[in-house]
Structure 1
């Protein structure tokens, strides 16, 4: 496991991470989310011993990462794909890292093949695209066959095939019982990949829970109903205990004045119950759709107070 306990990091008067605590468990993909400047990269660097905490502690497998003599045998990480020597070939780069960690030379060819860079092994890294550098960073993380893997924005610069490959890789690594911890700003990828989420804002913990539970906290969950008798149906559903809003309205409430066709957003009643109530009143429906919770909606709603750089802010 990765364990973070009351982790704090200050730079002068600025608090980048503020008494942060969470646990990342094996056998699952855990996404790490937060607005820009939330403290995600700083947290990852402290877990890896690259930054010294002002307070609190981190542990990997029950001990601080710095206590592991051969780091890549315990944790593989990709934090910045650009942090490589551009004059070296991919093969030379990995071979040097393998020697420094006491790893067998055969692992170099194995991981290059796994990430799809076998044919580019002799090319200088300076000529690599960002996507190729990301693949090389993943190869480096896999070199020691570690039980814990950490990735910071790993799909940046990847083409659609590369993104799909990354997604399957993370799922496979977790299925093997490894701990997979990754940050990303791509909500669609997080929805398709992560089991659990750790969400932070301004260095503080907002949520640490399964992805489905977090998504369900957003306001997007409900049933969309289309009918030519919107006001009449709204009154029926409200009497049955539902909350009803006109789609596109500023807030929830009765859609008064919308006696004609309209689309209602209903919460508090399932779609089958809504359909049965409409049938009892002989109200024809043109649409009856369950709207699933959106991770992006939940994230935007629950981190709204933690956004440091907000475009369009009134002056």
Structure 2
């Protein structure tokens, strides 16, 4: 379990992480979201003891990570896949880490096979593609068979097969009872992979809740209405202040309505003696909710006037 309490990090006059508190529990995949510059990587580095906090605490299993003498047995992490010695082979890189952490040499071959790099074990890392380096970084995280795993943007450079493999891996690790903390800017992956979310902006906590609860906080929703009297209903709903558009391109008589809730649409249709065959509320996607709820926390906005 990861616990962050009032964690703060300042660089001169800039506050990168501002009194941040949250928990990441075992048995589930927790997504870590935030706009660019929100402080996600800094927070991960603080948890791992790679940077010292200005204030507050971050613990893994109840103690600071730095207190673990053989860290890979307690936490596996992928922060920057490029931070490896390009002149070493994949096998030599993992063997050195295994030796320094008291891990059996047999584990090296196991994790290389696990991530699909068994045939590249004797190749020098400098010739690896970004996707291969990401796989090697995941192999490093898995090397000590740790109960806690942290990944920062792990799908960068991965092809569709690799993304699907990672998704299944993260789910399996959580099912095994491990704590899985996953940072990514790909909303579709978070929607398909994560159970819980920690969302930050400008170093501050915005939300710590389930994916479904976060998406439900968005004010953006629409109602799909099926009716054989589409034109008549559209006129009624428009008069009531709703925005109405045809739903889909199949020719079916369906409308997408925003600005009115489903019960109000049903009542208006009943009053106007208009037949309704379908009335379905469609909530915002994770991406839509994220964009809406983090608008005020975006540090770098393109196209904004100076």
TM over 0.5: yes
TM-score by length of 2: 0.90
Q: Name stretches of at least 5 consecutive residues in structure 2 with no aligned partner.
A: 246-253
- Mapping for residues 23-62 of structure 1, pairs under 5 Å: 23-62=23-62
222, 228, 231: which one aligns with 1:228: 231
Counterparts of residues 148-187 of structure 1 (less than 5 Å)? 148-187=148-187
Q: Distance in 1 between matches of 2:271 and 2:297?
A: 47
**Could you say if the C-alpha distance between residues 28 and 291 of structure 1 is closer, same or farther in structure 2, counting changes exceeding 3 Å?**
same
Residue 218 of structure 1: CA displacement? 1.2
Find the partner of 1:295 among 281, 286, 289: 286
* Alpha-carbon distance, 1:197 to partner: 0.3
Structure 1 residue runs without a partner (length 5+): 239-243, 249-260
- Show the 5 A alignment for 1:94-243: 94-225=94-225, 227-229=230-232, 230-233=234-237
Give the stretch that moved more between structures: 193-202 or 211-220: 211-220
Residues 1:305 and 2:296 aligned together: yes
How far did residue 291 of structure 1 move? 1.7
State the shift of 1:247 in Å.
4.3
Tell me the number of residue pairs that the alignment of Structure 1 and Structure 2 aligns.
294
Q: Give the distance between the partners of 2:208 and 2:215, measured in 1 at CA.
A: 12
> How does 1:248-287 map onto structure 2 within 5 Å?
263-265=256-258, 267-269=260-262, 274=265, 278=269, 281-283=272-274
Query: Which residue does 1:257 correspond to in 2?
Result: none
CA–CA distance in 2 between the matches of 1:62 and 1:109? 32
Cα contact 2:224–2:255 (8 A) shared by 1: no
Distance 1:114 1:262, change over 3 A: closer
Q: Distance in 2 between matches of 1:299 and 1:109?
A: 40
Q: Distance in 2 between matches of 1:59 and 1:263?
A: 47
* TM-score normalised per structure 1: 0.88
Q: Secondary structure at the match of 2:236?
A: helix
Q: Does 1:246 align with 2:250?
A: no
Q: Determine helix, strand or coil for the equivalent of 1:228.
A: helix
Provide the residue aligned with 1:314 in structure 2.
Answer: 305
